[in-house]
Structure 1
């Protein structure tokens, strides 16, 4: 059986079957996020492996907006590595890497408004994918609007993370709470557990980055 097949079971624990692709997507994702909280630039490199595995998994469980999002993540992982590792001189910390900063209230408001509008547009598109391209998407999109919200806000949060903005972690916290629910319902329960852990990590990231930012002002 194909290694990347969601039905290719790696192990079963407490009645929950775990495929190879879900297990390794979960593991690489968890380590990459932990490294991000610690401001470790190599989190972006491990992230490349994570998004490739997640792309394959999301296609098979019909979370199409999440699937398309992995293409974006692949590109931004490369950009993120470069931004953190080689910042402009005025944006560098004592380790000569990008320092933590914060959005203005106006900037945060604009991000939020645009995110909600884009969610409505993408959700409508995702809802009709199986009718627009039935040859490729034979099943209807699961949770089109909820999935679209996490997709759009993940894009924004990623850009904020690339720029080391404190608000990135608050956005990730909201995204992770919703994602935990979606993945649990779609029976990828280890990935759901991963996102429950991400909720804790995102909260810790927000707290830690806020402390670090306040040291610089």
Structure 2
């Protein structure tokens, strides 16, 4: 069996079978998010390994919007590392890395409107993908609109994280709650557990970054 095959079982725990692919995707994802919540710039580098493994896994379990999202994440991990490590002088903190900031109310409202519109458009696309390209996508997309919502909002959250906006962690919290449910239903139980942990980390990140932002005022 191939290492990247979702059916290549690494171990079984409490009746739940765990593939090599899901295990290492989970591990690298967890490490990357913990480092990010701690403002550690190397979180972006660890994240590169995670998105490659996640891309392969999502294709095999028919979560196509999530699969496409990993291409975006690969690029933004490179951008995020550069933005955090080499900020403009006026945006640098005492460690000479990008400092934390907040969105204006108008900016948050605009992003929310664009996010809902993007969810409807991507959800419609995902819903019909198996009919439009049946040779590539033989199965219908699972949870097309729910999956599309987490995909679109993950894009926004990533850009907010790149710019070190406090609101990034609140958006991630919503995405993580929905993702926990989807992955559990799709029988990738460890990945579902990972996103449940992400909910806790996102809450910690929001609180931690808010304190750091207020401290710098």
Mapped to 2, the partners of 1:187 and 1:124 lie a distance apart of: 24
Scaled by the length of structure 2, the TM-score of the pair is 1.00
Instruction: Count the aligned residue pairs.
Output: 217
Once the two structures are TM-superposed, the CA of residue 29 in structure 1 deviates from its matched residue by 0.2
Aligned to 2:35: 35
- Give 1:36-185 correspondences, 5 Å limit: 36-185=36-185
1:32-86 residue CA offsets vs partner (Å, 9 max, x unmatched): 0000011000000000000000000000000000000000000000000000000
DSSP-derived class of the 1:18 partner: strand
Mapped to 2, the partners of 1:191 and 1:118 lie a distance apart of: 25
Aligned to 2:206: 206
DSSP-derived class of the 1:128 partner: helix
What 5-or-longer segments of structure 2 have no aligned partner? none
What 5-or-longer segments of structure 1 have no aligned partner? none
Runs of 4+ in 1 over 2 A off after TM superposition: none
Mapped to 2, the partners of 1:4 and 1:134 lie a distance apart of: 23
Once the two structures are TM-superposed, the CA of residue 124 in structure 1 deviates from its matched residue by 0.2
Aligned to 1:20: 20
Scaled by the length of structure 1, the TM-score of the pair is 1.00
Once the two structures are TM-superposed, the CA of residue 216 in structure 1 deviates from its matched residue by 1.3
Mapped to 2, the partners of 1:28 and 1:138 lie a distance apart of: 29
DSSP-derived class of the 1:164 partner: coil
